[in-house]
Structure 1
């Protein structure tokens, strides 16, 4: 049995759907914090059990009988993230799985400027220390994050943000399919899926200046990129109501991009998919389309 954690989240839910194209439902299990959120999966024949990274004892039941577990990295900011990831890995080992897979990041490094990537690096080290066959999926930066980076540019015509750098924006749907491939393929020693993978990224590198140009083309009007001083940007963000810790978190992304930590492209993802990766333009088109829809309950 394959067990997927975080199966109702953005990435986890897509992984489950891709797996259901490859394996029968009774060979798939999910670990979710609230089983009611996965009722549709249960109705489809998937085993649904409650599991919470912050309550490790629940994971032993959630992972029971699994041959492989995909640990989708904990959606926790701060020091608790590493403990949560490690708890899930330890629970998978305790129930006797044959392989553990973990959703890491292409910029995973103990010296990374963006704190979550340091957590990924330490989690990878813990995973390797289990001595079990494992795969650390070094995912590219989620293209959906562009919605945060561009802010209200579709309304204002300006992307105002600190200095950045090129990023290999990668679609959730592509990374989910790659995870499904990793869970259903043989892993020969030395293969790209044995241990930490090469960067799983789309081939195109874009900074916010280039993003502004694409948005201009999509919307048919000029959208400018304006570089804002780091502290000035943070002060303005906090004044708009963004919690200081969240502002620091967002600023960290720009610092890492500026340092070139995301300026990486690799053919491994497209090789696993057997097709071209989804371009960032497609994600931007979706963001523009969503922004143009009338709010629910308004209009005719």
Structure 2
């Protein structure tokens, strides 16, 4: 059986959808804090089990009989390592044969704030002795397109990326990659590190131009210092801690930390990745 953590989230649901195209529903386990949130998956024949980071015993029960596990990194920045520890320890106790983990592009070298918890989790996996693969995901198209409302309202994309480029892909692309890895023979994936990113790299000026073309509005990119960008975010109501993470991520685009030209994601899923322009059109 294949289990997926965070199955009620954006990526988790897409992974389940991709898995259903590759294996029987009876072979899939959706792990969620609130089983009622995925009643549709249960109706489709997917096994739904309650699993809560704050209740370690729930993971011990939820992973019984599981052969392969997709550990989708938690969304609580700053709490991921203890949360992931709960999952990995439960997996080891239940003799899970393989874990795939959604890490960050170039995590082992990246100076981004977000990288540290991923590197720590990668180390936990290595220490566990459980065969595993790392899905080092780049940026999602949706990181940008889910925040189009203020862009359209102000006519500006803001950030501190200068002319740095991002090679993003859609969540569905990364989800399909996870499904491919999870349904492959363990011996074919154990030890693999997949550096995954989109086929098309673009800077924020190009992104603004694409939004302008799709929306019919005048949109420009306004580059600013990291400090000013963080202040703009907090002024818009984003919590200080998260604003700092976003500011750090935007600034590190200049160093090429969210750009990759390997084509590994497209090769894994067997098709081109989703262009940012297509995701913009879908969001609009």
Q: Same fold (TM over 0.5)?
A: yes
SS in structure 1 of the partner of residue 166 of structure 2: coil
Classify 1:134/1:186 alpha carbon distance in 2 versus 1 (closer, same or farther; 3 Å).
same
Residue pairs, 1:15-94, within 5 angstroms:
15-78=15-78, 80-94=79-93
Which structure has the larger Rg over C-alpha atoms?
A: 1
- TM-score calculated relative to the size of structure 2: 0.93
Change (3 A) 1:19 1:163: closer
TM superposition shift of 1:103: 1.0
Q: For the structure 1 residues 251 and 148, does the alpha-carbon distance in structure 2 shift closer, same or farther, using more than 3 Å as the test?
A: farther
Give the structure 1 partner of residue 98 of structure 2.
Answer: 99
Give the aligned length: 283
Q: How does 1:105-120 map to 2 (within 5 A)?
A: 105-109=104-108, 112-120=110-118
Q: Which string of whole-angstrom CA distances, capped at 9 and with x for unpartnered residues, describes residues 166-224 of structure 1?
A: 11111110111111111111244xx5x33242311111111111101212222234311
Asked whether 1:175 is paired with 2:160, we answer no
Q: Which moved more, 1:236-245 or 1:11-20?
A: 236-245
Q: Which residue is equivalent to 1:160? A: 158
Q: Counterpart of 2:256?
A: 260
Matches of 2:17 and 2:259, distance apart in 1: 30
In 1, distance between residues paired with 2:127 and 2:99? 12
Q: Distance in 2 between matches of 1:99 and 1:60?
A: 16
1:76-133: CA deviation from partner (whole Å, max 9, x where unpaired): 111x211111211111111011111111111313x63322221111111111111121
Unaligned runs of 5+ in 2: none
Q: Matched residue of 1:271: which SS?
A: helix
Question: 1:235, 1:178 → 2: CA distance?
Answer: 36
The RMSD of aligned alpha carbons is: 1.8
Q: What aligned pairs does 1:186-197 form with structure 2 within 5 A after superposition?
A: 186-188=185-187, 193-197=189-193
SS of the equivalent of 2:274 reads: coil
Q: Is 1:222 equivalent to 2:218 in the alignment? A: yes
Distance 1:262 1:75, change over 3 A: same
Change (3 A) 1:253 1:149: farther
* Structure 1, gaps ≥5 residues long: 290-300
Q: Under a length normalisation based on structure 1, what TM-score does the superposition of the two structures give? A: 0.88
Matched, 1:207 2:203: yes
Within 1, Cα distance between the matches of 2:182 and 2:270? 16
Residue 265 and residue 149 in structure 1: after superposition, are their counterparts in 2 closer, same or farther (change >3 A)? Answer: farther
